[in-house]
């Protein structure tokens, strides 16, 4: 449970408006160089962070920490947008996207993967045991099976029921917000100041069959540069891909922007690009960012995005992200 200090901090962060970015940055200066630290998208990040923290503190390394952390979310059938229990596509098929990246810029990714509960672990093996970065669809599945992964049905009764209800109207509006506990993206900085990241999702609910979002794309859903910082995304993947969102956030941090400023600049850019489009009504994007000093931020286009933080002082801190549009 949150202690009083956490509660106060959360309240302070939650009360920032779009015009109070500077005060948020000032707040973050007070916690500069607090490492190790882990941040993850949404409130399912709390359980994921706890696992990742346990692995990190046991000395097993940042890569295993982020992998084991997001696996908690992948295995949870109540999280309806990641792994087991994730919403299917329009044809009722659950297809998963995931990627992972380490301090040496090694990365691995799987897209359009079916029937495998832990795509993040397959992505890690793509990184470690193949000469490639990305495997997709049947090739990714064959690779996973060859590595001993078990095939299983990921469409739970509840998700199937929701899909059948959705089909009655077939109204495509991606469901992206706190109530649906979207994609998990996790960023970690270890006690040496080295960065790691992981991102895993079943993608936008009711997507076209074959659609791949930002989450498995290095630079879009996740990016890190161990000299600078790390960033990850959640929200409408198409908008994130079009701006190479996470890579841009990291590049902005390289230019000297704080994590908050960097996230805000990219969200502003996305907002400008999509303001006149039909997707504007339902567009949501959110970014988390963590720099080499352990400074962090979360920022979204619309109200409703939150992220989870875990460090020496805060084990279960859920922070309402600042946002552009209330």
- Binding string to ligand SD4 for residues 225 to 264, with x set by CB under 6 A, is what? ---------xxxx---------------------------
Sequence-ordered alpha helix ranges (H) in 130-226 = 137-146, 157-169
- Binding string to ligand SD4 for residues 61 to 100, with x set by CB under 6 A, is what? --------------------x-------------------
- Report angle CA 108, 111, 114 to the nearest 5 degrees: 120
Catalytic site residue from 183, 200, 201, 243: 183
Q: Residue 51 corresponds to which tokens in the numbers above?
A: 């696992």
Residues ≥6 apart with Cβ < 8 Å to 315: 50, 53
Task: Give the nearest distance from C-beta 158 to ligand SD4 in angstroms.
Answer: 18
Task: Give the residue from 231, 226, 151, 244 showing the smallest Cα distance to 198.
Answer: 231
Decide if residue 183 touches ligand SD4 (CB under 6 A): yes
Closer CB to ligand SD4, residue 88 or residue 213? 213
Closer CB to ligand SD4, residue 28 or residue 70? 70
Q: How far is CA 59 from CA 11, 73, 81, 142, in A?
A: 33, 22, 30, 32
- Binding string to ligand SD4 for residues 264 to 303, with x set by CB under 6 A, is what? ----------------------------------------
Closer CB to ligand SD4, residue 55 or residue 110? 110
- Binding string to ligand SD4 for residues 189 to 218, with x set by CB under 6 A, is what? ------------x-xx--------xxx---
Q: Is 183 noted as a catalytic residue in this protein?
A: yes
Pairing of strands 296-302, 107-113: unpaired
- Report angle CA 308, 311, 315 to the nearest 5 degrees: 60
Task: Give the residue from 11, 14, 70 showing the smallest Cα distance to 44.
Answer: 70
Task: Give the nearest distance from C-beta 301 to ligand SD4 in angstroms.
Answer: 12
Closer CB to ligand SD4, residue 155 or residue 236? 236
Closer CB to ligand SD4, residue 119 or residue 213? 213
For the purposes of burial, counting CB atoms within 10 Å of the CB of 278, is it exposed (0-12), middle (13-18) or buried (19 or more)? exposed
- Catalytic residue positions, numbered: 183
């Amino acid at each position: 449970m949150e202690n009083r200090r956490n509660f106060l901090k959360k309240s302070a962060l939650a009360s920032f408006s779009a015009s109070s970015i500077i005060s948020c940055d000032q707040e973050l200066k007070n916690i500069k160089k607090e490492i190790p630290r882990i941040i993850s998208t949404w409130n399912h990040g709390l359980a994921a962070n706890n696992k990742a923290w346990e692995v990190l503190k046991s000395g097993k390394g940042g890569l295993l920490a982020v992998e084991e952390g997001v696996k908690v979310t992948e295995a949870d059938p109540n999280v309806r947008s990641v792994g087991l229990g994730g919403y299917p596509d329009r044809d009722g098929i659950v297809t998963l996207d995931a990627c992972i990246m380490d301090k040496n810029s090694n990365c691995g990714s799987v897209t359009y993967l079916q029937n495998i509960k832990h795509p993040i672990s397959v992505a890690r093996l793509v990184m470690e045991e193949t000469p490639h970065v990305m495997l997709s669809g049947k090739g990714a599945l064959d690779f996973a099976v060859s590595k001993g992964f078990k095939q299983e049905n990921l469409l739970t009764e509840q998700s199937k029921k929701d899909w059948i209800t959705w089909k009655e109207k077939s109204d495509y509006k991606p469901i992206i917000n706190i109530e649906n506990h979207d994609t998990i993206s996790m960023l970690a900085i270890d006690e040496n100041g080295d960065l790691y990241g992981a991102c895993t999702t079943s993608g936008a609910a009711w997507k076209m069959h074959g659609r791949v979002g930002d989450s498995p794309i290095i630079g879009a859903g996740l990016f890190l540069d161990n000299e600078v910082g790390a960033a990850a995304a959640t929200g409408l993947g198409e908008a994130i891909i079009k701006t190479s969102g996470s890579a841009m956030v990291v590049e902005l941090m390289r230019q000297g922007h704080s994590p908050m400023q960097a996230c805000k600049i990219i969200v502003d850019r996305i907002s400008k690009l999509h303001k006149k489009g039909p997707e504007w009504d339902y567009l949501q994007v959110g970014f988390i960012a963590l720099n080499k000093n352990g400074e962090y931020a979360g920022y979204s286009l619309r109200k409703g995005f939150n992220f989870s933080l875990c460090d020496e002082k805060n084990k279960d801190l859920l922070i309402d992200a600042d946002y552009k549009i209330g």
